[in-house]
């Protein structure tokens, strides 16, 4: 098993990948697109990508990429995210003039960042990559919003810890790939569909699940490129695809949906007595 992730060592995506398989080789990638390409080309067997944050919301680009590639979802991972303000040794908060981070990292720390005076906030491609930029520049007037591990990797010190706006800051990652996971029992399914623009069409679509007692754990709409004001609906279902109720619901939806695709059926992320689940193993 080899897992691709977006970012530098110390990125939160790296930590999420380690939760899937703590000893698997990892493939750092510059962009989300590169993660999908690495899996599609065989450079990695799986890709671990963020899809939703409890503060910043959905990472829409990855929803679009998921639809563009034929790579099923095989697992999900939830990762508590603790941000630090990282700078070179000797730097002070009062002397900062620039703070770098990924747009999601910046969005998750808006209240803290608003307390910094005369500081330019600069969006970058990665949280850990921002820490690397600060370290490489050697400037004590710059800092990064990133993980404590990123600080260790790039020799930075923490000027402030837990700077996210809310303590319960959790990012949900999905594992896409080319092979299922060993002994993984699915209890969740992700689908995407589109509907004709008719009165009550969304109500009708959602009713196929409500009538069968199927829980919708997420509903996300995304515009369809080239078709203004038409939308795709991404839905997470709290049930396995092979469950009879789910199979019947999807067959019913398929009768009137313009497009319907199952993106994956997989085990949901759960804690056991306060401990994280054991790492997954990939099927041989």
pLDDT at 125: 87
Residue 273 has pLDDT above 50, yes or no: no
Expressed in angstroms, the distance from the first to the final Cα of the chain is 9
| Ramachandran category for residue 193: left, alpha or beta (phi over 0 → left; psi -120 to 50 → alpha) | beta
| Mean pLDDT to the nearest integer, 191-203 | 94
User: How many separate helices (H) and strands (E) can be counted in the chain?
Assistant: 9, 17
What value does the CA radius of gyration of the chain take, rounded to a whole number of Å?
20
Identify whether the C-beta of residue 188 lies closer than 8 Å to the C-beta of residue 268.
Answer: yes
Query: Is there a shared CATH topology between the 84-161 domain and the 188-266 domain?
Result: no
DSSP 197-233: S-TTHHHHHHHHHHTTT--EEEEEEEEPTTSTT-EEE
Residue 86 has pLDDT above 90, yes or no: yes
- Specify whether domain 3-81+169-183+271-282 bears CATH 3.40.190.10: yes
- Residue that the structure tokens 């979802």 belong to: 73
DSSP H helices, the chain, are: 12-20, 32-41, 60-68, 103-107, 110-113, 127-137, 148-154, 201-210, 244-254
Mean pLDDT of the chain: 91
Residue 275 has pLDDT above 80, yes or no: no
- Catalytic machinery residues: 171, 173
pLDDT at 55: 86
Place 276 in a pLDDT band, splitting at 50, 70 and 90. very low
| Mean pLDDT to the nearest integer, 128-147 | 95
Determine the Cα angle at 190 with ends 210 and 225, to 5°: 105
All structural domains of the chain with their residue ranges = 3-81+169-183+271-282, 84-161, 188-266
Which has more pLDDT, 109 or 284?
109
Contact residues for 51 (Cβ-Cβ < 8 A; gap 6+): 58, 59, 62, 63, 172, 173, 174
CATH class of 84-161: alpha beta
Place 277 in a pLDDT band, splitting at 50, 70 and 90. very low
Q: Which listed CATH number (3.40.630.10, 3.30.70.260, 3.40.50.2300, 3.30.460.80) goes with 188-266?
A: 3.30.70.260
Identify whether the C-beta of residue 230 lies closer than 8 Å to the C-beta of residue 224.
Answer: yes
């Amino acid at each position: 098993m080899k897992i691709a992730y977006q970012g530098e060592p110390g990125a939160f995506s790296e930590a999420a990948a380690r939760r899937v398989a703590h000893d698997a080789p990892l493939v750092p990638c510059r962009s989300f697109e590169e993660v999908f390409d690495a899996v599609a080309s065989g450079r990695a067997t799986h890709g671990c990508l963020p899809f939703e944050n409890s503060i910043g919301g959905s990472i829409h680009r990855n929803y679009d990429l998921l639809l563009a590639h034929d790579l099923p979802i095989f697992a999900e991972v939830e990762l508590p995210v603790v941000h630090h303000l990282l700078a070179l040794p000797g730097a002070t908060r009062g002397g900062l003039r620039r703070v770098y981070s990924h747009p999601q990292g910046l969005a998750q720390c808006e209240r803290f960042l608003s307390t910094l005076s005369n500081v330019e906030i600069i969006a970058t491609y990665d949280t850990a990559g921002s820490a690397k930029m600060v370290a490489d520049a050697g400037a004590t007037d710059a800092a990064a919003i990133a993980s404590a591990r990123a600080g260790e990797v790039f020799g930075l010190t923490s000027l402030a810890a837990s700077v996210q706006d809310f303590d319960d800051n959790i990012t949900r990652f999905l594992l896409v790939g080319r092979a299922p996971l060993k002994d993984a029992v699915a209890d969740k399914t992700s689908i995407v569909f589109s509907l004709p623009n008719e009165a009550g069409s969304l109500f009708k679509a959602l009713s196929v699940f409500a009538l069968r007692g199927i829980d919708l754990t997420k509903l996300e709409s995304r515009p369809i490129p080239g078709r203004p004001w038409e939308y795709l609906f991404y839905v997470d279902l709290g049930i396995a695809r092979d469950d009879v109720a789910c199979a019947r619901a999807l067959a019913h939806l398929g009768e009137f949906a313009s497009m319907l695709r199952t993106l994956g059926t997989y085990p949901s992320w759960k804690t056991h007595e306060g401990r994280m689940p054991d790492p997954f193993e990939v099927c041989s």
